[in-house]
Structure 1
């Protein structure tokens, strides 16, 4: 009987044994038996069995999982011309080896030394392209789409835009959604074309998105978001981003979260849901999402807001060279929020933000460098961001910062003429601080020929934009009639504007103007008011004048105790006349009857 059964089984064709083995492999409880039979067929040279053995090793089906053996058998089957094996090997060679880890072996045990003969490196997009070509030529639509994609976006050595389009069209005609996606990608990857400018590519992308491909859904959301080839439609963009986000597309999660932070058509802002999606994207490595999470925590809009959390997310984004995140991290360190105040860390991140082109960081850094003075900024450890490229490219704020650094010798180079030239560019571009600086340089002949008329024009322009320092300077020119006619009423108005913005020198000037001697009716009550305001603000000249008014009763009752107090404050502030006034009061008190 045993001999009879053996002869019967021996008469079964290899194809029948293969089908039987595949059925056993899929049967729970008999998969090991199926794998054993497939193994014998594979070792005997059956290519289809070799492919199935490879899949079994990779999936751990009927045998303990072994990526090493799975890749080896997949390579054997591919070398024998198995179309699906060629396609699978191409896909594997486009990503890291299965389970690569920090120990250079990987959690799944695929050692580089165990790569099959013929695989020289991993990943290897060029080799993947070759295997995809074999599978594509074998008629596999998915492989045709992959091959077209690699010809459009792969290594320069394999690129062929015309062939890419042809293979993607062939895959799309076979009903493969990846072919439609490939058509869209080949268009977007083409140089010299705006995304969305090819109606056929947009139509292909819509078909791929509607078929459920998450990458296509994200790309379609992007077209609606930017108005590329489709009407600008944030509601549609949000819808497609959401569908792609659910399927795990990281940039879609980030964009969807960002849109949820804005009021949509008929939809209120939803910070809580936005935080959920941004967190997923950030944990997957999206720097924009991490920066937005930092913003939510800093502004108290997160579910459990906190500066410490803000610092964590900003640091994630900053580590990926997100310029704004670097600046925000600097501010947190500067003000001791989320961690102990650390000027060294604050300076480090501010410098990094400036190096990455953040204009606000450039401004803050330039101001801090100037505040430190020329000697400190010329120290070996002082680093200065290079404002020149941005200034030459037309960035007015960079031009202003470059001018400031050249004027004050920040970084060891002083060039007043170049400073004036760049300052004028920034002023003409509307940078208010540059208007003020350029006006002062014209007034003093600092790096440029002195021109009081132009100086007055620039200072008044800056004053008109609300810059307090410019209001004070322009008022002084009107008061003295320099660069134009005397205008005491106009000067008074400018001093009032500066005083409302807290400028104590303007408060002193108002007191002096109301005190008399100008083209205005004297008003000593107003003079006393403004001298008091200036004195309380720490202005030594105001303190001196207030003490004098109180000592002499120039705008009310004499108050010698308060007068002495303010005169002493003024004397401590360096006003010699205040000491003389105090001496006079002491002499008068000693000789009083």
Structure 2
């Protein structure tokens, strides 16, 4: 697939990017300086043996568990970066392993001593849950540690306890218990939990009764805290404002577009795809603007959104004067990419392209196979096309190349 043209979005409305609310316990580079100690300044730490040895001696005199946790995470960073230019890579690997083991020793001590440190419990739980830092995947250990941190009101750990109880990871499935922990995590300020609780109450799942009013409240709180990890509430609220029945929130297409745009700038592909549609069809108060439409579809497609991939196929099928050069090969490749993900509309499009000979050599058997894949998923147009092909037998008439409107009318690219 050829490199995609660049489409600027600088003329889009600017929405303030909220500061990321990073999950505690991640293995991101350490920039933590504790409020209780000035013994360590990790704003730009070196990763030399001399610095590590000096840091190790200084941390012994610091009673603050937060400082020791910062030291443990520094060791993990050091293990990744130490000795990158050294010729003795065997020795480097051995030293890196030593640093990881020391880090785990510190974290385990913090997680299990008489006054356990919740951040260490959460971090160690993540390691057991994902099998990182050389640990075996052990969901039961992870769940136990999440639960211990949750008892100390660690918001993210409380959310993980809820997830484990919902899906049965490390413990048995208990929907009511999951709902209770989602509520607790939401009350503690966890954005993902706010969104999840809102959806639970909106849909009436996990044994909870439907409560649209409370659901909307939680979704709005989650939207206020939306970041790149948690843009979902913005999209859900946009869907509600776009709904014409107006039963839950006021019908407001402009508000819906504002929310979609905020989520799209946070990288949420469903919202990016939605904006592509807005500028393709002129909906939600948007002008018809091929450049913006293609730009948003491209952003979503590059992250693997199958609907956006098929939409790009449509744009390449006909091109857009002064914006995008027509390309049969790109039209086929984008449709095939979406079809490979199991999108039935794309499977139908690949069959259509093969039958007509767009971007691929005309091949009736190949077309039939893709129509059958779409038909298995209930695609009625694929079913009808298979019936028509069977009726025509060897006397099939050549299908003409569609215009963009015809392709949309026949749902080849919609």
TM-score, normalising length: structure 2: 0.67
8 Å contact from structure 1 (residues 152, 185) kept in 2 = no
Pick aligned residue for 2:271 from 252, 258, 261: 252
Structure 2: which 5+ residue stretches go unaligned?
Answer: 1-33, 85-95, 395-414
8 Å contact from structure 1 (residues 244, 252) kept in 2 = yes
Tell me how far apart the structure 2 counterparts of residues 149 and 232 of structure 1 sit (CA, whole Å): 33
Q: 1:199 and 2:213 equivalent?
A: yes
Structure 1: which 5+ residue stretches go unaligned?
Answer: 1-15, 99-109, 374-593
**Relative contact order, CA 8 A, sep 6+: which one is greater?**
2
The alpha carbon displacement at 1:86 in A equals 1.9
- Aligned partner of 2:144 in structure 1 is 130
Structure 1 SS opposite 2:312:
helix
Structure 1 pair 63/207, CA: closer, same or farther in 2 (3 Å)?
same
- Judging by fraction of residues, say which structure has more helix: 1
Q: 1:311 and 2:329 equivalent?
A: no
8 Å contact from structure 2 (residues 351, 371) kept in 1 = yes
Tell me how far apart the structure 1 counterparts of residues 223 and 264 of structure 2 sit (CA, whole Å): 13
Q: Could you list the per-position Cα deviations for residues 215-272 of structure 1 after superposition, in whole angstroms to 9, with x for gaps in the alignment?
A: 2222322333446732443332222121111112222222332333221354212232
Structure 1 SS opposite 2:281:
coil
The alpha carbon displacement at 1:356 in A equals 1.9
Q: 1:223 and 2:252 equivalent?
A: no
- Aligned partner of 1:328 in structure 2 is 349
Tell me how far apart the structure 1 counterparts of residues 209 and 294 of structure 2 sit (CA, whole Å): 30
The alpha carbon displacement at 1:365 in A equals 0.7
Tell me how far apart the structure 2 counterparts of residues 225 and 136 of structure 1 sit (CA, whole Å): 37
Tell me how far apart the structure 2 counterparts of residues 78 and 252 of structure 1 sit (CA, whole Å): 40
Tell me how far apart the structure 2 counterparts of residues 38 and 28 of structure 1 sit (CA, whole Å): 10
Tell me how far apart the structure 2 counterparts of residues 369 and 44 of structure 1 sit (CA, whole Å): 83
Give matches, 1:518-557, under 5 Å. Answer: none
Query: Larger deviation: 330-339 or 30-39?
Result: 30-39
- Aligned partner of 1:69 in structure 2 is 100
Structure 1 pair 175/275, CA: closer, same or farther in 2 (3 Å)?
same
- Aligned partner of 1:78 in structure 2 is 111
The alpha carbon displacement at 1:182 in A equals 4.0
Q: Please say which structure displays the higher CA radius of gyration.
A: 1
The alpha carbon displacement at 1:291 in A equals 1.3
- Aligned partner of 2:223 in structure 1 is 209
Task: Please give the root-mean-square deviation of Cα atoms over the aligned residues, in Å.
Answer: 3.9
Pick aligned residue for 2:40 from 10, 13, 22: 22
Tell me how far apart the structure 1 counterparts of residues 170 and 212 of structure 2 sit (CA, whole Å): 23
Tell me how far apart the structure 2 counterparts of residues 53 and 257 of structure 1 sit (CA, whole Å): 46
The alpha carbon displacement at 1:79 in A equals 4.5
The alpha carbon displacement at 1:196 in A equals 7.7
Give matches, 1:355-504, under 5 Å. Answer: 355-372=376-393
User: How many residues are treated as equivalent by the alignment?
Assistant: 335
Structure 1 pair 63/355, CA: closer, same or farther in 2 (3 Å)?
closer
Structure 1 pair 27/271, CA: closer, same or farther in 2 (3 Å)?
closer
Tell me how far apart the structure 1 counterparts of residues 242 and 142 of structure 2 sit (CA, whole Å): 33
Structure 1 pair 189/34, CA: closer, same or farther in 2 (3 Å)?
farther
Structure 1 pair 320/178, CA: closer, same or farther in 2 (3 Å)?
closer
